[in-house]
Structure 1
C-alpha cells in the first residue's frame, strides 16, 4: 500500500525572524528548571550501562519506537547506542530483540540532554531524526532550535545529524548552530539508501522516514561537526 502523509504547510517562507534572538537568549540565560526525578533515575541507569559498554556513544534523541536505535546499533557495532523517548507506549513496540550495544531509555529528552551535558557526555554521533517541526510561526519556542535547551544539545559536541521533511526547519537549526558555535554544517537533500537504490532496496532508519519518502516528500539532512564545550555550561562570547 502506498504511504500517504501530508507535506508540512507553514506561513514561513524562511527561517523565523526571531530565531537568532531566541538562540542568543538561551545562550545567555541558564535554564533553571530542575530535571524530573524519573529522568534523573533513567539517566543514572543509562550512565551505568554506558560505563560498562566502554565504547564510543551514539545518542538517538527522540527515538520513537526505537527502530532507529536498533538499526544504528547494527550499523555501528563498535559503538554503544542509547535511544531516548518519553513515551512508554512507543518504546514498547516490538521490533525484535535489541542488539547488545543498544539501550532504550524512557525519559524527558529535555532533561536528559541537560544531565548529559552536566555529566560531560561526549557522543561521537548525535541523531535527531524527524518530527518536531511545529510549523506555525507562533510555535518557534517549541522547535529544538527555539527551545531553551538548544545550547545543551550543542554543548555535547560530536557529529550531529538532523533529518526532516521540512527544509525551513533544517535551515533554522543550521542558523542556530552558526549563531552559537560559529561553525557551518552541510544541508543537502536526502535519499534513504542513496539515490541509486530502488524503492525495494531502501533502508529506512525510522517509520517516519519511510512514510515521508513513500509519500513523495522531499527529505533533508543537516550534518555538522560540533566542538565539545569543556565546561558543563554552554558559554560562548557574544560576537
Structure 2
C-alpha cells in the first residue's frame, strides 16, 4: 500500500523515517519534480490530492507529504469522497504520507478510511523511567544505522541519553566514527558520551522520602545538567 501514516510525539524519529522513505522512493535527480510537502489546510489538501494522482516525472516514484495533518476531524463529505477516490485509484508509483502528533481517532470516518488503505507506524517518546524500552530503543537505533553495539554499551548509552532520540542518534553517529566498523563497547561510551547518574527518578524518591535537602540538591543538579523542566515534571507525574 503506497499510503502511510506516521504518528506520535517523537518528532525527531518521525523526521528520520520520513527522510528514509523519501530516499527510498524518490530518485534524487528528480526530487524537485517528484517530492512535495503541503501545510495542513483544506486548500493544501485539495492540491495534494490532485498531485498525488499525477504520474512521476523521469525516474523513480512520487511522494506527497502532509505533515502534522490535523484535518481528520473536520473533513466534510466532499473531502471524504475525494480522499476515498484517491486512495482506491492511487498508482503504485505514487506514495502519500501523513504525519500526526497524536493517535488517529478510530471513531472518525476519515480515520477508518485511511486505516483501510494505509501502513501505520507509531513513534512515541518513551517514558524516562522505562529503562528496558530505552535500551530497546538504543538497539532499534543501532539496527537502523547498521552500527553494532554490545549489550553493556547499549545499557550505558540508554542511561546517558534517556528518551532524547535526537541525542541518541547524534551520539551513535559520533561513536561510529571512533569505533570505525568495530562493535561499540562500554569504553567507547565512557570516553565520548557525557554520562550523568543523577536522574528524575532519584528526585522522585527524595520527594517521597520527604528529604528536602536531597530534593533540593538533586533538582539543582538536574538543572545544571540542562535537564528540561518539562521533562522533569512529566516524569514525576507519570
Query: TM-score, with normalisation over the residues of structure 1?
Result: 0.29
Q: Which has the larger radius of gyration?
A: 2
Specify which structure has the bigger relative contact order, considering alpha-carbon pairs within 8 angstroms and separated by 6 or more residues.
Answer: 1
Structure with the higher fraction of residues in helix conformation: 2
TM-score normalised per structure 2:
0.30
